[in-house]
Amino acid sequence: MNIKYLYIVFLLTLVLLASTKSRFLAPDKLIVGSWEEVSWKYEKVNHKGGSSFEIDEKQKQEITKNLVIHQSETWEFNDDGSLIFYDGEKVKESLAWNVKGRGNILELIHNNKTLEDYEIQEITKDSLVIHFHSDLQVRGIVKLTFKRKRTEKYAQEIQQP
């Protein structure tokens, strides 16, 4: 009789674990889709008071002058490992992407094999926050925030059980 209860508890635990795991997608699965750039924020490192401020277009150009940074409105991550940058409806650039480490490093690989690494700070089904480190006159981190772009395909995916 005790073995039956133990067996039932074991099966319920397995079912619970399987359903819980399916709810939490890995970053490389969760990132697939279209993301709209919402903001750039510059945060100073090693600065008392921890100041941070929004970056305007002129500051963004200064920060990105010697870096390969994408000033694109939409980033589309495909499950085949390709990434397409759109400026409006126009394709701006296409390259490859990969999630490395424990799911916290986003690596972008250009056709000329140039690499870019971003730190994934937060990723949910609706928001993405990534950082890159800037070595301007004052060291700091640039925080890029994205929201998932609503598409017909995305609407179908979230309606599925």
Cα separation, 147 vs 126, in Å, equals 6
C-alpha dihedral sign at 132, 56, 65, 50: negative
pLDDT of amino acid 112: 85
Residue 91: half-sphere exposure toward Cβ, Cα within 13 Å: 7
149: tokens are 């772009």
Cα separation, 49 vs 106, in Å, equals 29
The reply to whether CATH 2.60.40.420 applies to domain 25-159 is no
Return the domain boundaries, the chain.
25-159
pLDDT of amino acid 24: 66
105 near 120, Cβ under 8 Å? Answer: yes
pLDDT of amino acid 22: 45
pLDDT of amino acid 44: 66
User: By C-alpha distance, which of 74, 115, 124 is closest to 97?
Assistant: 115
Angle at 69 between CA 32 and CA 55, to 5 degrees: 100
For residue 90, give the amino acid letter: K
pLDDT of amino acid 14: 79
From first to last of its 161 residues, what are the pLDDT tens digits of the chain? 688 888 888 888 877 776 555 456 789 999 999 999 998 887 765 555 555 556 667 766 666 655 555 666 899 999 999 999 998 889 999 999 999 998 999 999 998 888 889 999 999 999 999 998 765 555 678 888 999 998 655 555 545 55
